[in-house]
A = this chain, B = another copy of it.
Amino acid sequence: MTSRDGYLWTPDQGLKAGIPCIGRIQPPTKLNGPSPCVYDVIVVGAGYCGLTVLRDISLAGLRVLLLEGRDRIGGRSWSSNIDGYPFEMGGTWIHWGQAHVWREIMRYQMQDKIEISMDFSSGVNQYLQASPKGTQRFSHEEEYAIMDSGLQKLFNIDGQWGKRVMPFPHSASFTREALAYDRMSVADRIRNIEDSLTLNERRGIEAWVLVCSGGTLETVSFLEVLHWWALSGYSYEGCIEYLAKYKFKDGQSSFAMHFFQEALATNNLDYVFDCPVVSVKDTGNTATVTARDGQKFEGKRIVSTIPLNVLNSVVFDPPLRKGKKRAADTGHVNQIVKVHAEVSNKDLRSYTGISYPHNPLYIAFGDGTTQAANTHIVSFGGQHLHFHPEEDIPVTIKALQGLVPMDIETLVFHNWSKDEFARGAWFFPGPRLLSDHLFDMRAREGNIYFANSDWALGWRSFIDGAIEEGTRTALVLRNDLMNSLMLDSKLT
């Protein structure tokens, strides 16, 4: 099946909007169950967080309605199988040290459906560092040494590689020192250490921060980059392991479908896809969600999994608390551009490279081999030299060629910046957003719960964080509804 989302370009066919997705749900509406006037829970959004909530809640025997603006599950994380090869449109890599996602992978017995992105066994087997002055070639061992040394300088703020400042990376009880780093941008931090960095280290770590954050050095909180480092085991070795190494053999929509299908099997789930929400009105006893087409749905509780950058697109009545509103007004800074290229150059399978600071795509590497035995290159740009790949394909191709010369057969991408349900990619905060508003973003308001990877505690911004938030919310919500049921039965 084909989703409206995403773009495919080939030299012969040109640009086409909409690409295959096994997470496309058809027909888009199921309201067949014993139709209640009032659902126990209405979940808005079918990303991993929403999927986790609706699965856990429907398993617990409560009646759930899912409303989703898109035609597919997965939200900002989905894969498109094109000619038998899965391209990851947003979100890709997972690791068994990410508790929530790995627990689900093992629960669904998918632990043998994982593969390794990179393959340095043949081909160019080099790290190419392109800069305005030309391209330097390094072995991957040299690449490792440059990055390891550079990142240690960036993060060794306490003589313990950050462990003293951030000893528990899943805690929101930040140390005072940690909070100070939230007032600092990465640009500020780099200014403090720039005398100690070689030029190659500096280019390497700056490009690395940009690809982690999708922001610019000036717009990104140093605390959150440090958080990623801490989560990754306080080492570059860990960053490789956790951030860009292991992925789903069959694409991650194969994983997301398990959640949806498990929930469906309970017979407690109704859903409406293609159903963007415009307002949520909390009347005290229940809450009403109004869709763009005017349909209204009533639930005892609502779970909004709407991402921070589009929270303002929905009208809440009563209005959101000030802190949450301010967080939504500020938003996060991640405007990642992720472009997949299928190329005929087999030797690029073992390529990694950066092209910085002059090129709109600044990091890329060989990520797989397609059924046609071509190489799959995944490349990233972002807020720094931001562009929209579909608007000018020659510009996009030039940005790819600016990384390494390649013979392109196919381009695949999703423009997250223009996506009306995302307005950006995974959450990445500017300075002060977390210190000022993390608890605001997480706070329940009346009958409305707010759950999203954007404000998870651990692997915030990751699939793992989405499942963390869904898991937390489902448990609290179930206890809340059970208590209110008990209260009801005492009152009657």
Contacts and interface: CB of A to CB of B under 8 A. Distances in A.
Interface in A102-147: 102-103, 106-109, 111-112, 114, 116
Contacts of A471: 103, 106-107
Contacts of A458: 96, 106, 111
A475 interface: yes
Contact of A238 (B96, B116, B233, B468): B233
Contacts of A116: 167
Interface in A445-492: 457-458, 468, 471-472, 475, 482
A482 B265 contact: yes
A100 B106 contact: yes
Contact of A60 (B59, B99, B111, B475): B59
A241 B97 CA distance: 12
Contacts of A18: none
Nearest to A231: B96
A116 B167 CA distance: 9
Interface stretch (A4-12, A83-91, A169-177): A169-177
A99 B106 CA distance: 9
Contacts of A59: 59-60
A215 B29 CA distance: 59
A107 B469 CA distance: 9
A112 to B, nearest CB: 5
A250 B229 CA distance: 28
Copies of this chain in the oligomer: 2
Interface in A391-429: none
Nearest to A114: B168
A96 B99 contact: yes
Contacts of A96: 97, 99, 169-170, 458
A98 interface: yes
A154 to B, nearest CB: 19
A238 B241 CA distance: 13
A112 B173 contact: yes
A61 interface: yes
B107 A472 contact: yes
Nearest to A106: B468
A326 B372 CA distance: 48
A112 B107 CA distance: 26
Interface in A214-239: 233, 235, 237-238
A189 B462 CA distance: 40
A438 to B, nearest CB: 14
A169 B111 CA distance: 10
B233 A111 contact: no
A114 B233 CA distance: 17
Contact of A111 (B97, B98, B102, B457): B457
A111 B457 CA distance: 9
A28 B400 CA distance: 68
Nearest to A478: B59
Nearest to A241: B233
A472 B109 contact: yes
Interface in A156-188: 167-171, 173
14 contacts: A59-B59, A60-B61, A97-B97, A99-B99, A99-B101, A99-B103, A99-B106, A100-B106, A106-B468, A107-B475, A108-B475, A116-B167, A235-B237, A265-B482
Interface of A: 59-61, 96-103, 106-109, 111-112, 114, 116, 167-171, 173, 233, 235, 237-238, 241, 265, 457-458, 468, 471-472, 475, 482
Given A97-B99, A98-B99, 17 more contacts: A60-B60, A96-B170, A97-B97, A99-B100, A99-B102, A100-B106, A102-B170, A106-B170, A106-B458, A106-B472, A107-B475, A109-B472, A111-B170, A111-B457, A116-B167, A233-B241, A235-B237
